Amino acid sequence: MPITMPLLVLATATLGIEIALLLRAFGLIVAARRLGVEISHINVGFGRTLCTRTIRRCPVKIRCVPLGVFVSIPAIQVRSVWRFGKEEATRRGGRDRLLISISAITGSLAAVILAAALIWAGGVGEPVPTTSVTIGDVPELYTDADGAERLNPEWLAGLRPGDEVLTVNGSALSEGWRELTEELVLSVDMVTLRFTRQGATREVRYEPAENPDLEGLRYPFFRPDLKVEILSVAADSPAE
């Protein structure tokens, strides 16, 4: 995976958390202003204070790590009386505290709804359906659990490198190699593979042999032709 992908995921997650905290703080500020409850100060981020600005008689402190917004409303906190500046704030009743708390929750819900809307609009990445498996190698012989060499039933049935398997026992593939191997491992009788070779559709029927390398399961001896995509090459490396 390119290094840019983890960084992109981290940046997206950080931005989402930041937006959620901003909306929550916005809900607190709006409710406090509407109810006439004084806000002692607002912290933007955390850590050492870089600068302070006063907006509508409320100090806004900019911290060195600008993640999150934290709103201090003394009148709804635990102690009954606080002093800040030259004014006194008395503990508000349960109704005001409840309304302010609901406003904060509403801001968080707005962030969730916004995230859901963005995901719905952009979609969630899903694997592309793999409707076929191209065979890369088919051994003529295999070694059984007793160490004896035997003819591979896949080779005897007529499978060859380059064949593109489309169906297993009449069922079309949608998950490629994983689905194909599951069907073969779980089979208890003969299996039927439909495939194409040089544009012509063919069909073979055989009974899979037990694979001693995989605890005697009827796992195929043939291997898929896997495509490798090179996304980038480091500068001045031997591969360049």
Q: How confident is the model at residue 229 (pLDDT cuts 50, 70, 90)?
A: low
End-to-end CA, the chain = 18
Sequential DSSP letters for 28-92: HHHHHHHHTPPP-EEEEEEEEEEEEEEETTEEEEEEEEEEEEEEE-GGGSSSSEEEETTEEEEPP
For residue 205, the SS3 value is strand
Total number of residues shown for the chain: 240
The CA dihedral of 32, 36, 40, 45, to the nearest 10 degrees, is 20
For the chain, give every domain's residue range: 4-122, 133-224
Predicted TM-score (pTM) above 0.85? no
CATH 1.20.1730.10 fits 133-224, yes or no: no
* Residue-wise pLDDT tens digits, 37-95: 777 777 887 778 788 888 777 778 888 777 777 887 766 665 444 444 444 445 556 67
